[in-house]
Structures are given as C-alpha cells and as structure tokens.
Copies of this chain bind each other. A is one copy, B any other.
Amino acid sequence: MISLSLTEENYLKAIYHLSDGGQNEVATNAIADHLETKPASVTDMIKKLAQKKVVNYQKYQGVNLSEVGMQAALMIIRKHRLWEVFLLEKLNFSWDEVHDVAEQLEHIKSPLLIQRLDIFLGHPSFDPHGDPIPDEKGIMPELTTVPLKLMEHGAKGKIVSVSDSSSALLRYLEKIGAVIGAHIEVLEREEFDGSLEVKINHRDRVFISEAAAHHILVTTV
C-alpha cells in the first residue's frame, strides 16, 4: 500500500479532474491554477509523485495518473462523495456549506470508516448532485442517460453531452448555462410545441425547444 500525504492526495485529485478521469494529459500550469499554487511547486511535487509511481510524467509533456494513482484518486473521490451524502442527508447541510468540509473529511485515513459510512448511508451510487460514487473497488456506477426530450415533468439530472454541434445551439446553451455538468430540472412541458421549461443549476427558469431537447443527454440518478 502506498502512503500519500494530504497534499499528495490533493494533487492526484486535481489531476483526475483536470484530465477528465484520466483521458487527457494535464499541464503544469493547469494544476497550479487549480490548486492555487505556483508552477514551480507543481513541478517539484510531480517529480515526487512520479518517483512514487502514482503518475506518469515526461518532462514538458504533462502528467497523468498511473494505474495505482488512478485507484488512489478514485478512493479519494469515493470518500469525498460519501461524506457529501452524509452531510446533506444526515446533517442537513446545504450544498454551499458542504464543499469545504468534505474537502477535509476526504483525507481521513480509515478503510473501516468508509466501509461503515457506506453501509450507514445505504450504499449510495450517486451523490445528491448526480455525481457517481466509485465503489470499494474504484468502479464507477453505470450512468443511464436519457435525452432531455424524454424526461418526465419534475425529473432532475445532469447534462452529460450535447449530440449536435451546430454552433447556434451550443451558443444558446452556453448562454443559459446549460453546459456539460450542469444540473437540470424539468419544470413544465408545453403540449402545443413540445418545448420545455427547465431550471439550470437551481437558478432561473429557461425555455428549451423540443428540437434542442432532443440533442441534450441527461443522466437520471
């Protein structure tokens, strides 16, 4: 078992998110921005992480997680999201109060604690925002996606992709905040034209045409 400091864990988590779950290489500056530190510090730490073999690193070519590093990152994310569920569901936190605390709790080192917390919470697969929670082996739950068009009145979810790249649509979606990752809730469906009134990220109500709704894929938790 590799042992990681709190700081090292934060680097792994940053690399996980910035690489989109390991898909792309991550730039030094991106990590520095994300962690509000300096590029020189990032280089130092990356070298250390490379020595520990939790990242793959080639000078000037960016970093990414190794197998071991990915597993470690997934465990941190698992812990983070389980604690989020706990704070929101059991301790009546609101979303804006959750982040800082979960950020601390995710670093508690005790496999038993997480195992028991998971049981206590009823083995949740998604946190209340629809983010998937990796299981004890680091496997992400399948997320079933549905076109926004087919969603029921009152249904909630997260936008995962837009299957049309016409820039007019993308510009409109961008403008109303309907970007990938945004939370979305169906408020009303107009029968005469099939358009939807939705709430994006718990903010204002906006309208989306049936045609557009056809191209927006949403996870249903």
Q: B90, A112: Cβ atoms under 8 Å?
A: no
Chain B residues positioned under 8 Å from A100 (CB to CB): 110
Copy number in the complex reads 2
* Chain B proximity mask over A78-112: 1 for CB below 8 Å, otherwise 0: 00000000010011110001001100110011101
Q: A101, B110: Cβ atoms under 8 Å?
A: yes
> Which range contains the number of A residues in contact with the other chain?
10 to 19
Q: B116, A110: Cβ atoms under 8 Å?
A: no
A113 contacts B by Cβ under 8 Å = yes
A117 contacts B by Cβ under 8 Å = yes
Query: Which of B104, B108, B109, B117 is within 8 Å of A110, CB to CB?
Result: B104
Question: A104 and B108 in contact (CB under 8 A), knowing A120-B90, A120-B91?
Answer: yes
Chain B residues positioned under 8 Å from A120 (CB to CB): 90-91
